[in-house]
């Protein structure tokens, strides 16, 4: 799960690429259309960085490091007007005069802005928070922002000092959401009060927002460090804590009681169209919820048969459901100590690294490092088993895999390796840094995130780790299959909740019957799907496409097939909608058959 790009991902939906085919390795000509296109890219990117300063900071663009986004209704409407104008400016550029990557970039840019405009009409911005992310979880920013110079600290303090405006605008969106009937379900929003409360501290030093000041770089003189610390403490005491206290009062007394009691996206205003939008958005396909629901049922049956074979290999006597109960309840499959669980994740990450050069060309591997860290304790009870946080786009902050140490007795040992492959490397912490380092691409392509591609790639790499031999015992292999089952169940449960009339209890029961996930994980997962309609569909839809493309390449290329070259073809154009990815791989196959040299984008 690549958590912090979710808002950006929510801007995208299905894509139809028009026009003749293009060669993946051809270079754009320096003609008037190409010059105008790249100027538009730069102008629009600067506009996006200005309007979304937190995104800019995380991506390594530091012009707006001391600012918050303007979340007022008037400004959100203004941004939509700007997006409409951007599309008009793009239409004025003659696409037929473009070639190579420029043609891909034109289509992706058009896709990007068309869907921001389409998404605006549904009013999803009126639901700016849920139990997974929002203004109550902002303290995690300290792990993604740069803290190298005094200026970095001054910019951060400026943000703390102006936080009350950002809070008031967020409350304004929530109030408007209540008026329009655009609220998250009450059942998941009940998880949030303790998250808000974690930001209301008696001493500023106890605030998670103060973390960067506990150990500051030696290049900052001691006297200046003292001034910066004092300013941070004052901002936390005088601005931040009162803002959260005000928010807590509003949330508990006014917002939570007005959250909807239903759980289906279908029940929102224009809900059926909204959920269909979400499905297209996250899968980048034209599949309907009904088609995905049926696909999920088929995949559950297929994976169930594979799991049956594995549990029989270990000599278990009993039914499949008996085996799932055995896995959930036997202490041998869990750590008691959170520290031991963290060490196991870090060891799993180290096992992958030496194997990467056998499956990826060295020139493609990212230069930036990544680490494995615990999810903050205040967030852990309500969030994923793990998630991935990308590095800063300029390499100034390393990426990391955040792992959930809450209730170690609910975290299966044999899930550790497969989860690390997904969130770490060769999953998110490989694909995302590679895209960021593709300096031959426009900035918007280096940082775009299409969930069906990103999550599909991460899920594909779980099976790649099986090829690497990392699941070296029956239980580890069962863990890999259980995670495949988990993603197949998502297809059924997400569509079941939002378009098939399922209750929360039905969704939980379906998980219990088909996966070995602990009850703790099942409950947080079901609530995740309730709060985030459609996103969970992207994983298996994307993985199926990547596997299909690999099978196609293996069949057509025969002995010419090279796994390193295939992975480079999938990764070297950045994050793509699935239809574009297919065009890219099809072209690579044709070039490989023709003996054309493959480019190395660095």
Judged against a pLDDT cut of 90, whether residue 451 lies above it is answered with yes
At 378 the pLDDT is 86
Q: Quick one: three-class SS letters along 208-258?
A: HHHHHHCCCCCCCCHHHHHHHHHHHHHHHHHHHHHHHHHHHHHHHHHHHHH
In 437-532, which residue ranges form alpha helices assigned H by DSSP? 443-447, 451-467, 474-499, 504-514, 519-531
Distances (CA, A) of 593 to 79, 511, 550, 556: 46, 45, 15, 8
- Over residues 196-223, the mean pLDDT reads 97
Judged against a pLDDT cut of 70, whether residue 9 lies above it is answered with no
**Phi and psi (nearest 5°) for 438?**
-85, 80
Digit-coded pLDDT (tens) for 350-390:
999 999 999 999 999 999 989 999 999 888 888 888 999 99
Q: From CA 17, how far away is CA 319, in angstroms rounded? A: 49
Instruction: Give 396's pLDDT tier (boundaries 50, 70, 90).
Output: confident
Question: Lowest-confidence range among 68-82, 150-164, 301-315?
Answer: 301-315
The CATH number of domain 24-121, selected from 1.20.58, 2.60.120, 1.10.287, 3.10.20: 1.20.58
Closest CA to 375 of 146, 143, 40, 173: 143
Question: Lowest-confidence range among 3-7, 97-101, 252-256, 500-504?
Answer: 3-7
Higher-confidence position of 39 and 383: 39
CATH 1.20.58 spans which residues of the chain? 24-121
**Phi and psi (nearest 5°) for 389?**
-115, 120
- Over residues 128-134, the mean pLDDT reads 95
At 394 the pLDDT is 84
- Over residues 21-26, the mean pLDDT reads 36
Instruction: Give 26's pLDDT tier (boundaries 50, 70, 90).
Output: very low
- Over residues 335-360, the mean pLDDT reads 96
Judged against a pLDDT cut of 60, whether residue 346 lies above it is answered with yes
Q: How many CB atoms lie within 10 A of CB 179?
A: 9
Q: What is the pTM assigned to this prediction?
A: 0.89
Distances (CA, A) of 418 to 147, 301, 389, 427: 32, 21, 17, 10
Digit-coded pLDDT (tens) for 106-124:
999 999 999 999 999 999 9
The sheet that has 386-389: what strands, in order across it?
370-374, 399-403, 386-389
- What's the token pair of residue 439? 């300096």
Digit-coded pLDDT (tens) for 276-329:
999 999 999 999 999 999 999 999 999 999 988 888 888 888 888 888 888 888
At 600 the pLDDT is 56
Q: In whole angstroms, what separates CA 230 from the centre of its chain?
A: 35
Q: What average pLDDT does the chain have?
A: 92
Judged against a pLDDT cut of 80, whether residue 210 lies above it is answered with yes
Higher-confidence position of 174 and 519: 174
Judged against a pLDDT cut of 50, whether residue 442 lies above it is answered with yes
Digit-coded pLDDT (tens) for 212-231:
999 999 999 999 999 999 99
Asked if residues 187 and 507 have their Cβ atoms less than 8 Å apart, the reply is no
At 598 the pLDDT is 65
At 425 the pLDDT is 97
The sign of the torsion formed by the CA atoms of 521, 526, 527, 532 equals positive
At 487 the pLDDT is 94
Instruction: Give 183's pLDDT tier (boundaries 50, 70, 90).
Output: very high
């Amino acid at each position: 799960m690549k958590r912090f790009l979710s808002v950006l991902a929510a801007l995208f939906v299905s894509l139809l690429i028009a026009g003749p085919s293009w060669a993946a390795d051809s270079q754009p000509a320096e003609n008037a259309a190409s010059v105008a296109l790249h100027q538009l890219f730069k102008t629009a990117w600067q506009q996006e960085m200005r309007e979304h300063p937190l995104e800019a900071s995380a991506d390594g663009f530091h012009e707006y490091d001391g600012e918050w986004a303007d979340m007022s209704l008037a400004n959100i409407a203004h941004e939509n007007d700007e997006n409409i104008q951007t599309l008009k400016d793009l239409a004025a550029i003659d696409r037929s005069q473009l070639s190579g990557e420029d043609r891909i970039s034109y289509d992706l840019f058009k896709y990007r802005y068309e869907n921001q405009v389409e998404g605006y009409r549904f009013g999803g911005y009126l639901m700016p928070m849920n139990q997974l992310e929002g203004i109550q979880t902002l303290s995690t920013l300290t792990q993604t922002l740069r803290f190298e110079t005094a200026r970095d600290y001054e910019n951060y303090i400026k943000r703390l000092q102006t936080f009350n405006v950002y809070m008031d605008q967020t409350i304004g969106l929530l109030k408007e959401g209540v008026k329009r009937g655009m609220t998250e379900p009450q059942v998941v929003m009940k998880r949030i009060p303790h998250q808000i409360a974690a930001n209301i501290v008696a001493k500023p030093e106890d605030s998670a927002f103060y973390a960067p000041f506990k150990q500051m770089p030696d290049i900052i003189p001691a006297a200046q460090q003292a001034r910066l610390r004092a300013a941070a403490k004052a901002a936390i005491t005088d601005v931040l804590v009162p803002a959260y206290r005000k928010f807590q009062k509003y949330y508990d007394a006014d917002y939570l009681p007005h959250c909807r009691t239903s759980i289906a996206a279908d029940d929102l205003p224009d809900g059926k169209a909204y959920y269909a939008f979400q499905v297209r958005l996250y899968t980048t396909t034209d599949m309907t919820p009904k088609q995905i629901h049926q696909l999920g049922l088929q995949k559950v049956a297929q994976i169930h048969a594979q799991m049956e074979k594995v549990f029989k290999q270990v000599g278990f006597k009993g039914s499949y459901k008996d085996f799932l109960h055995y896995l959930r309840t036997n202490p041998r499959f869990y750590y008691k100590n959170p520290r031991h669980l963290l060490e196991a994740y870090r060891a799993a990450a180290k096992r992958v690294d030496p194997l990467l050069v056998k499956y990826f060309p060295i020139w493609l591997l990212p230069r930036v490092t990544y680490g494995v860290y615990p999810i903050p304790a205040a967030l852990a009870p309500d969030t994923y088993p793990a998630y991935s946080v990308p590095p800063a786009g300029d390499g100034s902050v390393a990426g990391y895999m955040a792992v959930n140490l809450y209730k170690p007795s609910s975290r299966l040992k044999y899930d550790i390796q497969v989860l690390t492959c997904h969130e770490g490397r060769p999953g998110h912490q490989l694909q995302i840094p590679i895209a960021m380092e593709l300096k031959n691409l426009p900035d918007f392509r280096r940082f775009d995130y299409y969930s069906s591609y990103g999550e599909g790639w991460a899920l594909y790499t779980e099976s790649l780790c099986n090829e690497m031999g990392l699941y070296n015992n029956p239980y580890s292999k069962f863990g890999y299959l259980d995670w495949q089952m988990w993603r197949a169940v998502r297809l059924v449960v997400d569509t079941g909740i939002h378009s098939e009339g399922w209750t929360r209890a039905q969704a939980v029961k379906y998980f219990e019957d088909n996966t070995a996930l602990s009850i703790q994980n099942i409950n947080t997962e079901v609530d995740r799907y309730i709060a985030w309609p459609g996103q969970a569909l992207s994983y298996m839809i994307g993985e199926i496409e990547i596997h299909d493309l690999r099978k196609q390449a293996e069949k057509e290329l025969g002995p010419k097939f090279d796994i390193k070259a295939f992975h480079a073809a999938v990764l070297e154009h950045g994050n793509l909608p699935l239809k574009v990815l297919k065009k890219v791989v099809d072209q690579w196959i044709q070039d490989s058959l023709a003996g054309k040299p493959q480019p190395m984008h660095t």
